[in-house]
Amino acid sequence: MTLILWDESGISLRPNVGTTWAPVGETPVLLETPGRHNHTMLGFITRSPRRHDLDFRFTVFKGSANTEDMIFFLTEIHHYYRSKVVIVWDHLSAHHAAESYFEETRPDWFEFHYFPSYSPELNPVEPCWNQIKNVYLANFVPTSDEELLSAVLESGERINEQKLLHSFFAQAGIRP
């Protein structure tokens, strides 16, 4: 059985302002692209099926996550793992609706569990979003959706390459 810790986060063309160095009296200026193109990052941490390493996987899509998106991605996860998957996620209403859908239509595909309410510090996926937004993309000003998507995907790959997931589990007080 595969265990997946799941979370979503939003991102847009607006830059995430971070601290930086500049000559005295020359405050850096970030010129943002007009528009409010919002995207949802949907990601999860699991152990890779072959090597048993921790693995951060995610996708980015336009707009806000809804029940249909959850059902679609959960179906894709089932087709990938081809066995029952344990999902641990927060109390987003779309999560409860997706759980109801799968309990009615495919009860043998998933087992759902929830993090306690108002406890993002327990989910090791939360630091992944923080790393992407506030470290890798701090002060990054994308000029298009494509540039933003490319930078986000590259940032997500760096999390796995730098083997940060063990520290995110330690921060959450969970032994991987």
Which tens digits make up the pLDDT trace of 125-153?
999 999 999 999 988 888 888 988 999 99
- Note the pLDDT of residue 30: 58
- pLDDT tens per residue across span 41-67: 999 999 866 667 899 999 998 888 899
Count of domains forming the chain: 1
Residue 59 within a domain: yes
- Residue 130: CATH number of its domain: 3.30.420.10
- Strand positions, DSSP E, 48-173: 54-62, 85-89, 110-114
**Of 28 and 130, which is predicted with more confidence?**
130
Tell me phi and psi for residue 43, to 5 degrees: -145, 165
| 145, two tokens | 């959706």
pLDDT at 22: 62
- For 69-79, write each residue's pLDDT tens digit: 999 999 999 99
Structural domain boundaries enclosing 164: 2-9+36-172
15 in a domain, yes or no? no
Query: Is residue 143 a part of any domain in this protein?
Result: yes
Would 20 be classed as within a structural domain? no
- State how far the Cα of 137 lies from the Cα of 140, in Å rounded to an integer: 5
Q: What span, in angstroms and rounded, lies between the C-alpha atoms of 34 and 13?
A: 8
99 is written with which tokens? Answer: 């759980």
Q: Quick one: which of 7, 86, 16, 74 has its CA closest to 41?
A: 7
Q: Is 162 a domain residue?
A: yes
Q: Which two tokens stand for residue 71?
A: 């059902």
Residues 169/128, Cβ–Cβ less than 8 Å: no
Euclidean distance between CA atoms 28 and 23, whole angstroms: 9
Q: Are 156 and 43 in contact (CB under 8 A)?
A: yes
Does any domain span residue 168? Answer: yes
Residue 65 lies in a domain: yes
Residue 19 lies in a domain: no
